[in-house]
Amino acid sequence: SMGQIVVIGGGFGGAACARALKRADAKLPVTLIEPNKTYISCPFSNEVIAGLREIEAQQFGYDKLAAEGISIVAQAVTSIDTQKRRVTADGGTAFGYDRLVLSPGIDFHPEALPGYDAAASETMPHAWKAGAQTLLLRRQLEAMADGGTVVIAIPANPSRCPPAPYERASLIAHYLKRKKPRSKVLILDAKDSFSQQRLFEKAWKELYGDMIERIALSQGGRVTSVDPATRTILTEFGNYTPDVANVIPPQRAGRIAGIAGTADTTGWCPIDPVTFESKLVPNIHVIGDACLGGGIPKSASAASAQGKACAGAIFALLAGRTPEAPRLTGICYDTVAPGYGFSLIGNYQPKGDIFAEVEGVATSPVDAPRELRAREAAEAERWFQTITANTFG
Q: Which 151-210 positions form the footprint of ligand FAD (CB under 6 A)?
A: 160-161, 164
Based on the shown chain and the rule CB under 6 A, indicate whether residue 256 belongs to the binding site for ligand FAD: yes
Tally Cβ neighbours within 10 Å of residue 102: 35
| 305 near ligand FAD (CB under 6 A) | no
State which residue has the least CB distance to ligand FAD. 11
Residue 285 burial (C-beta neighbours within 10 Å; 0-12, 13-18, 19+)? buried
Cross-strand pairs, 189: 154
User: Of residues 31, 45, 183, 235, which one binds ligand FAD by CB under 6 A?
Assistant: 45
Residues 47, 52, 54, 58: what is their CA dihedral angle, to the nearest 10 degrees?
-30
Span near ligand FAD by CB under 6 A; candidates 99-107, 214-222, 347-355, 367-375: 99-107
Q: How far is the CB of 127 from ligand FAD (least distance, A)?
A: 7
- Closest contact distance (angstroms) between CB of 255 and ligand FAD is 7
Nearer to ligand FAD, 232 or 347 (CB): 347
Shortest spacing between CB 162 and ligand FAD, in angstroms: 9
Our finding on whether 288 is near ligand FAD (CB under 6 A) is yes
Nearest distance in Å: CB 333, ligand FAD = 6
Q: Smallest distance, Å, CB 332 to ligand FAD?
A: 6
Q: How many Cα atoms within 13 Å fall on the side-chain side of residue 378?
A: 6
Give the side-chain half-sphere CA count within 13 A for 305: 23
Among 70, 77, 211, 344, the residue binding ligand FAD under the rule CB under 6 A is 77
Cα distance between residue 268 and residue 292, in whole Å: 6
**288 and 310 in contact (C-beta within 8 Å)?**
no
Q: Taking contact as CB under 6 A, which single stretch among the options 41-49, 175-183, 211-219, 311-319 is the one that binds ligand FAD?
A: 41-49
Interaction of residue 131 with ligand FAD, rule CB under 6 A: no
User: Residue 301 interacts with ligand FAD (CB under 6 A)?
Assistant: yes
Give the bridge partners for 94, in sequence order: 88
9-38: contacts with ligand FAD (CB under 6 A):
9-14, 33-36
How many chain residues are in contact with ligand FAD, going by CB under 6 A? 37
Smallest gap from Cβ 326 to ligand FAD, in A, equals: 16
Peptide bond into 165 cis (omega under 30): no
Counting contacts by CB under 6 A, is residue 388 touching ligand FAD? no
Nearer to ligand FAD, 275 or 301 (CB): 301
Q: Which is nearest to 221 in space by CA: 169, 295, 273? A: 169
Residue 3 binding ligand FAD, by CB under 6 A: no
Interface with ligand FAD includes 43 (CB under 6 A)?
yes
Report whether 324 contacts 342 (CB < 8 A). no
Contact with ligand FAD (CB under 6 A) among 95, 108, 276, 333: 333
Choosing from 303, 311, 318, 344, the residue that interacts with ligand FAD (CB under 6 A) is: 303
CA distance 4 to 263: 23
Q: Which of 162, 249, 250, 254 binds ligand FAD (CB under 6 A)?
A: 254
Closer CB to ligand FAD, 235 or 299, in the complex:
299
Q: Among 137, 269, 332, 344, indicate the residue that binds ligand FAD (CB under 6 A).
A: 332
CA distance 392 to 14: 11
Measured torsion, CA atoms of residues 45, 46, 48, 50, in degrees rounded to the nearest 10: 180
Report if residue 128 touches ligand FAD, rule: CB under 6 A: yes
Instruction: For the CB of residue 301, give the shortest distance to ligand FAD in the complex, in Å.
Output: 4
Interface residues with ligand FAD (CB under 6 A)? 8-14, 33-36, 39, 42-43, 45-46, 76-77, 103-105, 128, 160-161, 164, 254, 256, 288-290, 298-301, 303, 332-333
